[in-house]
């Protein structure tokens, strides 16, 4: 049994030291420390790691961190929504997003051509530039083949980009598949539709991609899940785990609560009833904002893994 310990600052405190202290503070800091340890175990025990996140995290500066995590071989499978992939491409092709304010007048923003995501701002112009960039990409894809499974298409797109901080680029380069079960739910979907209007035999095969996610791990693999936020990204990863016997490791980080019965708020405990994680799995659910909490937990894990010589770079 661990005891509560009085926390004390000392100059030049590192993130790793702070997270170590969190384990003896209380409430969510304790859960965050637990989550950090689960990440360390995933890697030490060679689990295949699913990393899932929502679009708004790619809007944020976590995007480069996700790319770095892929580069460092700390994620084996990515599941996300299409909005984030669009924005990854935008950023990889020069668009810049701004730090704004949660309380700005939205009608004024609309008049200025600024789209708000919480306290972040995306120019409508960035979406227009995206349109210019996505059309030649779709043309190249179509030249290669007519029917595409989603993750195969995303890999191909990643190979066309040239940005070390891009999720699509790093995933493609490191053979990490990206699954996106709702590929049409965004501007990208609109452009796929326009393209198909001109090329009737152009098909995006989502059913085939279900096989791809199913087969990228197996009953024999140890499996770990890092689910940031909720949505289908989280659900799709744990469904794939369920069909392969359940994950050995899982951490959920979310602002949602279990009281709503929603997927976003579903806990790693609830996942046990389904067999999404194993009965005896190592799990942690941390409640709060991912932009603050995920870097803390992940950096702790990275520092420990580095010390233990388990952090590969490519």
Site for its own copies in 86-125 (CB under 8 A): 91, 96-99, 102-103, 106-107, 109-110, 114-120
Q: How far is the CB of 47 from its own copies (least distance, A)?
A: 20
> Is 276 one of the catalytic residues?
yes
Task: Determine which residue in the list 129, 174, 295, 310 makes contact with its own copies, applying CB under 8 A.
Answer: 295
* Residue among 159, 157, 152 nearest 174 (CA): 159
Closer residue to its own copies in complex, CB, 222/295: 295
The nearest distance, CB 111 to its own copies, in angstroms, is: 8
* Among 41-49, 153-161, 217-225, 262-270, the segment contacting its own copies (CB under 8 A): 262-270
Residue 275 makes contact with its own copies by CB under 8 A: yes
Cα separation, 141 vs 158, whole angstroms:
12
Render the burial of 284-309: b for 16+ CB within 10 Å, e for the rest.
bbbbbebeebbebbbbbbbbbbeeee
Identity of the residue, 175 or 197, whose beta carbon is nearer to its own copies in the bound complex: 197
Count of chain residues binding its own copies (CB under 8 A): 126
Q: What is the C-alpha separation between 148 and 150, in angstroms, rounded?
A: 6
Nearest distance, CB of residue 306 and its own copies, angstroms: 6
Of residues 119-178, those binding its own copies (CB under 8 A): 119-120, 147, 165
Handedness of CA 288, 291, 294, 300 (dihedral sign): negative
136: CB partners within 8 A, 6+ apart: none
**CB 148 within 8 Å of CB 157:** no
Exposure of 88 in the CB half-sphere (CA atoms within 13 A): 34
Residue of 183, 216, 241, 250 that binds its own copies (CB under 8 A): 183
Q: Which of residues 11-70 bind its own copies (CB under 8 A)?
A: 11-16, 18, 21-32, 54-56, 59-65, 67-68
Site for its own copies in 193-222 (CB under 8 A): 193, 196-197, 202-211, 214
Residue bearing tokens 């699954």: 179
CA distances (Å), origin 203, targets 33, 138, 141, 195:
45, 12, 11, 10
CB of 218 to its own copies, least distance (A): 15
Q: Could you give the residue numbers annotated as active site?
A: 276
């Amino acid at each position: 049994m661990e005891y509560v310990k009085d926390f004390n600052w000392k100059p030049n405190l590192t993130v790793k030291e702070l997270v170590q202290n969190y384990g003896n503070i209380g409430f969510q800091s304790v859960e965050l420390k637990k989550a950090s340890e689960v990440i360390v175990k995933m890697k030490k025990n060679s689990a295949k790691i699913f990393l899932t996140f929502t679009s708004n995290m790619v809007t944020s500066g976590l995007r480069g961190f996700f790319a770095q995590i892929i580069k460092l071989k700390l994620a084996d499978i990515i599941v996300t929504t299409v909005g984030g992939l669009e924005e990854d491409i935008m950023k990889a092709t020069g668009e810049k997003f701004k730090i704004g304010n949660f309380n700005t007048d939205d009608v004024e923003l609309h008049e200025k051509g600024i789209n708000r995501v919480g306290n972040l701002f995306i120019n409508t112009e960035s979406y227009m530039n995206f349109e210019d960039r996505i059309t030649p990409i779709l043309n190249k894809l179509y030249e290669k083949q007519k029917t595409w499974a989603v993750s195969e298409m995303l890999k191909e797109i990643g190979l066309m980009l040239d940005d070390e901080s891009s999720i699509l680029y790093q995933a493609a380069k490191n053979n990490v598949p990206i699954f996106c079960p709702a590929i049409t739910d965004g501007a990208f979907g609109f452009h796929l539709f326009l393209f198909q209007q001109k090329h009737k035999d152009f098909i995006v095969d989502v059913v085939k991609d279900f096989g791809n996610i199913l087969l990228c791990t197996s009953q024999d693999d140890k499996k770990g899940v890092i689910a940031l936020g909720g949505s289908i990204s989280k659900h799709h990863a744990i469904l794939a785990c369920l069909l392969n016997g359940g994950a050995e490791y899982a951490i959920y980080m979310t602002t949602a609560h279990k009281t709503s019965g929603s997927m976003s708020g579903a806990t790693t405990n609830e996942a046990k009833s389904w067999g999404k994680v194993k009965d005896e799995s190592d799990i942690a659910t941390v409640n709060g904002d991912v932009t603050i909490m995920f870097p803390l937990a992940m950096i702790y894990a990275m520092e420990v893994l580095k010390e233990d010589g388990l952090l590969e770079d490519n």
